Structure 1
């Protein structure tokens, strides 16, 4: 989810200042036997011998992508596209923070309630304040250095400016290694804590960003996701019935490791898909400067849906583009005090069925058909669907009780 920095603040999903209030958090005390990832060898993985590799990925025009899909059942990669290319991590680095937290908490790995209060929002809702707190109180870039050594990562590097944890360099293949460690090598309490929280990923992040793009939109559950975003082109990536929150980031304020691009908006989707966490999926994307959040959301969705992901099941319905900004998703096909959330401007949505409801007018158009969006659990007026017909020709009618 995000580009972050604890010392140079901007609005929304951003590099935030470390507030003095972080000291109010309870200090962590590492007790018991050490959590020692190096006690077991890092999961084996084939070398990424080419810049591209084998892939069926359909990359939208203007998008730079790094992709890796690993089938844990066969022990092979089904997709590799620029798998060793470094991207700025945005909030994917929070996985390393969570692993670092458990590093010296054995043998029972009990998480006190005070720590759950910030760890769970950090993993489920990508809370930046929680990450700022942990980063500043546990060694800044040394967190990444420790995890590099423990997990045997090849492409992950601390940010050149240690104040900006979101500028940690990471690759798709290293992300697969991280998830393989969590699933296959980490002690069961550590695995369960991290994965259970990723399975409870909230649609609205802590900063009101709609974070159910990529994996979360492309596949039915079961899935577990950790998302990331960073850039100055996402002012309308918000969700929920609240007013929009700006998501601008100071892209040039910090510096990154190696040649990691900091100028283009980034949107990343990582996690597992299928029963038993069969496939590990890592999709990193950079978009042209000025790309809207809805366009980036749509593009990473199309890319993710094109991948060969064993165990993944596509949701039923038809994908359609939308127009206008802050389109309300309503619990019923009528205008009332029934707003569930709002769509990012111009985002592509999955339409499950349609039915007639209250007539909506946006001169010179009027439409009384409404589209049910199963991934949002509500309706939008068909007037906001990018299609010339009032009734969509290839979408079934909704049956009761919808």
Structure 2
């Protein structure tokens, strides 16, 4: 029997929180690194704390749309929604798929702390956690039909630097880690806080799932907040064997 490949050792959560807060002092961080080969979580910070999803909910929209047999035209639109984080496409699917979209995906995947928004039209207000997002990525890789899995992962791996709204989505994972990635990012604000998130699959064979969720006070500035997520991601450099 061959020995299992060496996995990531424990990553100091305090070091990651300190790195993010050095850039934006009031950052609240929720993070998980999941090793798909070793099966462990070398990093877990506030892993069950709920954050507003912003565009991360587009992963759930894609899963539900594909599970309902999206047409070829719809599949093309899902690729654009994921890679460019296109809000107009997300809104159209949200309306078409209906208010039970989130409960359906929660049941399908077995999510534990994900909740629909209080106001049904505000898809960016879905409440998610780092641990539940690990389950979302595991579902994409392990349980989706091959064609659907390829659509989603390829779209995430081809995300351009600028999203449909021109926001620079190369923060966190793509700027902080010099390794292969397939990302879904999120950014936005409501009347109370800002959120910026960097999530995805990294490394050879998509060995690691990396989830970095952050919340900031209003007025912190999107660029500053994005830089804080990148600083958090940079703590992982050299700590993901086999990536």
Q: Hey, what's the Cα distance between the residues in 2 that align with 1:149 and 1:54?
A: 33
Q: CA shift at 1:311, angstroms? A: 4.6
Aligned pair partner of 1:206 in 141, 149, 164: 164
The yes-or-no answer on 1:98 pairing with 2:62 is yes
Q: Hey, what's the Cα distance between the residues in 1 that align with 2:153 and 2:185?
A: 14
1:116 maps to what in 2?
75
1:86 maps to what in 2?
50
Cα contact 1:273–1:312 (8 A) shared by 2: no
1:3-402 alignment, distance < 5 Å: 55=13, 56-59=15-18, 60=21, 61-105=25-69, 111-112=71-72, 114-140=73-99, 142-231=100-189, 251-252=190-191, 263-307=192-236, 310-311=240-241
Q: Hey, what's the Cα distance between the residues in 1 that align with 2:142 and 2:233?
A: 24
Q: CA shift at 1:221, angstroms? A: 3.8
Q: CA shift at 1:117, angstroms? A: 3.8
The alignment partner of 2:17 has SS state of coil
Q: CA shift at 1:83, angstroms? A: 0.3
Cα contact 2:17–2:29 (8 A) shared by 1: no
Q: Which runs of 5+ in 1 are unaligned?
A: 1-52, 232-250, 253-262, 314-402
Aligned residues: 226
Q: Hey, what's the Cα distance between the residues in 1 that align with 2:135 and 2:153?
A: 15
Q: Which runs of 5+ in 2 are unaligned?
A: 1-10
Cα RMSD, aligned residues only: 1.8
Cα contact 1:68–1:173 (8 A) shared by 2: yes
The alignment partner of 1:156 has SS state of coil
Q: CA shift at 1:312, angstroms? A: 7.6
Cα contact 2:77–2:89 (8 A) shared by 1: yes
The alignment partner of 1:225 has SS state of strand
Cα contact 1:98–1:119 (8 A) shared by 2: yes
The alignment partner of 1:202 has SS state of coil
Q: Hey, what's the Cα distance between the residues in 1 that align with 2:217 and 2:91?
A: 28
The alignment partner of 1:229 has SS state of strand
TM-score, normalised to structure 2, is 0.88
The alignment partner of 2:217 has SS state of coil
Q: Hey, what's the Cα distance between the residues in 2 that align with 1:179 and 1:73?
A: 14
Cα contact 1:90–1:229 (8 A) shared by 2: yes
The alignment partner of 1:302 has SS state of helix
The alignment partner of 1:58 has SS state of helix
The alignment partner of 2:187 has SS state of strand
